[in-house]
Structure 1
Amino acid sequence: MNNNLNRIIGSLFISCLFMMGCGTDDTQTVATFNNLVAEDNFDVDGEIDTSFWNFDIGDGSEQGIPGWGNNELQFYTDRSENVTVENGFLLITAQEEDFNGAQYTSARLQTKGKIQQRYGRFEARIRLPFGQGMWPAFWLLGDDSDGSVSPQIGEIDIMENTGDAPTEIFGTVHGPGYSGENSISKKYTLVNSRVDTGFHIYGIEWGPDYINYYVDNVLYYQVTPEDVDEETDGEGEWVFNDRQFYIILNLAVGGNLPGSPNEETVFPQTMVVDYVRVYTNGIN
């Protein structure tokens, strides 16, 4: 991929002098994952590649309560109005419409059982939507095929954004003792740019004892087992070694994090994905 040499080749550590919000005496572990093992460049117009992606369909109802656990307002579909490939891009579009009891529709894609691994680099080049109530995300979820449930399976949110904050994204981890509102997270602020007017590369590099967060190949955040221990007063558990994780791309409407759309929110809104790539260095 572009700028591989900029990802710190030949070094195991880099001073946090170059990192956002770190002390100059700290160090962060850096790995170079350069073995491309999976990618979707969305080169074929029309339907998504079902050898790579699955659809999550519905309103996420649990015990009769919709919202995917987050009080979201959309119904996810597999319709072309909500998800399609066009001119080399994946388009995930939120519509304002009455559909199966919901006021909005959108799409959520995931790679469970198809593209999943433990450790490596996961990245995507994306242009995000804009407007109050928009909640686009690119994230990883631990495989629950063994019957484990959240937060034990772990969650790595590579990129989340609220549509009313077009210069900010969040990188977050969830696990036992640090899930939901108590998750461990850091904000990254773009300078002289916006997430909705240009494409940006969002990625993580994940090893046995760290998860590094990148925007446009800039390392801005690292989470380690020691950070989890410190943030949870010893009550948290590092669950990022014992299972494979799969990719999720979705555009939610409303919910706990962004709040509902308002009268200024324009529909439709589209999350435009140029590519998704997965790398390894052979340790997974």
Structure 2
Amino acid sequence: MSNAQPGGYYFAPPSHWPIVGSIALFFMAIGGVLLMNSYGVGWIPFGIGFATLVYMLFGWFGTVIRESEGGLFNKQVDGSFRWAMSWFIFSEVMFFAAFFGALFYARVYSLPWLGDIDNKLLWPDFATHWPSSGPYRPPEFSAMHAWGIPAINTLLLLTSGVTVTWAHWALKKGDRQNLIFGLSLTVMLGLLFLSLQIYEYMHAYSELNLKLTTGIFGSTFFMLTGFHGFHVTLGVTMLIVILFRCVAGHFKPEHHFGFEAVSWYWHFVDVVWLLLFVFVYWV
């Protein structure tokens, strides 16, 4: 088995996990295509693929954890992990930038164009105010108020940013008790955020008539908040894994990038929500 030489770089031995992940994604893709074409049997390959993907994630990440705890990673490997996580978060920034760009384009450019004198002949009843569902027989709907659940969720995520930082500082000082307590609070705040967002979606569909099909506002609202909720779910999952590792005695004050990577991701989720609160709910 390859390992880290003194002053050298760690080369991992050949692994079967990439091919297992590829097989999982293949089955999920087949199942997804069948389901999108109304074939109920698509749940079978999709379920097989999802179960295989979960198995791959546990196996692959478990291997990396064992290598890290075994002392095989030096500073050079740590630096490569940091660059990898940095580029991953940058790709996520570009992902959300595309949706924020669509929101900006719809509000600043599309609405004035559709409401000018030429288009008034096509859509005489179209109003250029935001939120708008578009010019084609817009259904009656109401936008979500910023100072209700969204404001509470903002407070929850900002507080969770404080608690995860608290846990990080406790880890640096070797204070395991405050580390575990701070992480536990962060996980609970994240789960509470998700619970409130689920309630918000139910309220939007049942009482506000705000749906994914409600024109440009509905599509941008649910795409931005929905993908953010998905990222919060991933973040909470990673925080739970890190919490279990902390309880098991993993991480040292001088060696804990696994913890740092998750905290970076969580702070990224916080910043995206602040932008969502301002530009989707408030302004």
TM-score, normalized by length of structure 1?
A: 0.22
TM-score, normalized by length of structure 2?
A: 0.22
The structure with more strand, counted as a fraction of residues: 1
The structure with more helix, counted as a fraction of residues: 2
Q: Which has the larger radius of gyration?
A: 2
Greater relative CO (CA pairs within 8 A, separation 6+): 1
